[in-house]
Copies of this chain bind each other. A is one copy, B any other.
Amino acid sequence: MKSDNDHIKIDGIDKDILRYLMAEARKPILEIARKIGISGAAIHQRLRKLESSGLISGAKLVINPKVLGYTTMAYIGIYLDKAMSNPVAVKELEKIPEVLECHYTTGNWSILIKVLCRDNEHLMQVLNRDIQPIEGVSRTETFISLDQQIDRQITI
């Protein structure tokens, strides 16, 4: 039984399989099999092992929010009152669909969140109507991402 923190051994073949699927999760496994030089069933067995080891945590369809009209991405640093517990604030943030990430951070803020909005007006609404009213939120600092220039996963 492997816990989340055990390091596991993966060989070159595992790495090849992962690299292909990290870029294109629905790539035909037989195609990978032909390129690597082993059978499709063998790849499937390795994938099952990588899944049960916890290294593979899933596969997600990536969608382009711009096509839906969501063009404004921003990071917001949130200062919480000392009395306010982080988990309670996170529970409230979870209810806001525009909040995509939430980190409990060292440094100036208690919380750093990433939000995705249609435009600046929508962002202002989320700040004023959804975030500021949360109990314990004293102040926020907003950084709009004018352009996301790198977006990738860990390199295998």
Interface of A toward B, CB cutoff 8 Å: 2, 4-8, 18, 21-26, 53-71, 73, 75, 90, 93-94, 97, 99-109, 112-113, 116, 141-156
B90 touches A103 (CB 8 A): no
B151 touches A60 (CB 8 A): no
A7 touches B69 (CB 8 A): yes
- Chain copies in the assembly? 2
> 12 pairs across A/B with beta carbons < 8 Å?
A2-B67, A7-B68, A55-B67, A56-B63, A57-B63, A63-B156, A73-B103, A100-B154, A101-B152, A102-B148, A103-B147, A105-B143
B7 touches A67 (CB 8 A): yes
B143 touches A112 (CB 8 A): yes
Please report whether the interface of chain A is mostly helix, strand, loop or mixed according to DSSP: mixed
B154 touches A116 (CB 8 A): yes
Given contacts A104-B149, A145-B112, contact A59 B62 (CB under 8 A): yes
Docked CA distance A2–B63 (Å): 16
B149 touches A90 (CB 8 A): yes
Min CB distance A91 to B, Å, is 9
